Structure 1
Amino acid sequence: MTTILVTGGTGTLGRLVTERLRAGGHEVRVLSRHTSPYAVDLRHGGAALDAAVSGVETVVHCASTPRGGDEEAAGQLVDAARRAGVGHLVYISIVGVDRVPMGYYKAKLAVERRVEDSGLGFTILRATQFHDLLVQVFGSLSKAPVLPLPAGASDQPVEVDEVAARLAELALGAPAGRVPDLGGPQVRTLESLARAYLKATGRRRPVVNIPLWGATYRAFRDGGHLAPRRAVGKVTFEEFLARQAGDDGRD
């Protein structure tokens, strides 16, 4: 039985990774800022982090936030993992972190570099955006009388449980370096995804495509965050929405 530490183990992705690993009979430690017995702020490290990684064979690093601090957290985790003799560090990143010049993406790319240079056995998986994120974005945007979208942009949402399954599989294998990206089953315009969301939630809003400016917008418009050749996910956005609504998607 393998002892595995999952950082961010109470989050959207980490919780599902934890469930899958435990279902396979593995001992899993969940690290988050507010969950005992491994309540740790990764940015600060210290004795609590050392205790969390002690005796662990594999770390799955899911903890992340767009509010900043990912690089510091990764540095503390890598140092603790080296001290503990961890054999395998698995990191979940985002498709396009090397092509989209957005602050959060730059931080994720910097973490990838820290992992690669750590001296530890490592595996890095990049995935496209989760269905859940689009629902959050569209839910926020649809509070206005119109639903504004960046003109010309597309997305390739993926089911988070499919990413969790892949991460769990990678955690149980040998370090593999950077593995092929995991993309959702369809590259769709944001407008088509937004209209699917409005239909599923019974909301009526005009959808307005707004041309924007700047390098980040151009990178998204040009598909820097997409992986059309790695459209290996199975669950479509409509299927996800139907499941959320408690429907099986049949008429």
Structure 2
Amino acid sequence: METFATATVMDPAVPGFARTRRHAAPAAGRSRPGCALARKLAGFGPLDEQDRAALEGLTGYVRPVERHTVLVEQDGVADHALIVFAGFASRDKHRASGRRQIVAYLIPGDLCDRGVLHDYPLDHTIEALTHCLVAKVPRAAYLDLLGRHPRIALALQRARLAEEATAHEWVANVGMRSGTERTAHLLCELMERLGMIGQVTDGQYDLPLTQVDLADTLGLSSVHLNRVLQALRRDKLISLREQRLRILAPRQLRALAEFEAGYL
């Protein structure tokens, strides 16, 4: 099954694809795995040097995780905060038949702290979609971080609101948009989210997902998704060659999806 590696936007002047957040994050850079988390939270509120140093300190908990590793089981109560520093993970719902619906992506800088904060079980599974770098931060260390760094705690609260709004948008995507529209919407959303953490360079971003992953995200069969991608290519909205996805007409793609980035 085909895997997408890189996406390229051909019109970098399009508003929204590299949108500046309410609080501007530092300049792009991917040399340290802690950068994505600091950049994301800086987009939701100003952080000082002590805050950034504390976030960098979490990299001591980072470990590599192989693709398809289950990070938190459904109905499990995690005694740690789970933070993705590299790669793509997902929140999944599974049926007894084995069918899967991906209900959210966890990209670098995203986290799950439900068990730590609320001692409450997850109603879904968290799984690594790709090779990932993941930190499992023990409850005591995580709560200490929030207590000592109120700016981080506030930024995390705002990030949760954006995550909730994104979940609502995904429901609308599956419920109201055609297969072509929902695919276009997801491509636009990922450009935004990855751009916010400095992982869009020269209009390109990594998208290491299979067509099965994307189909399970969009509520489509793999065959239907393949037809959608072919239609987008035929209409000269995207070009797909050798694991490279190129967005040829960003304005048209955004218009097709009715994509507005304010919820992010």
TM range (shorter): under 0.3
TM-score (norm 1): 0.28
Higher percent of residues as strand: 2
Q: Which has the larger radius of gyration?
A: 1
TM-score, length of structure 2 as denominator length: 0.27
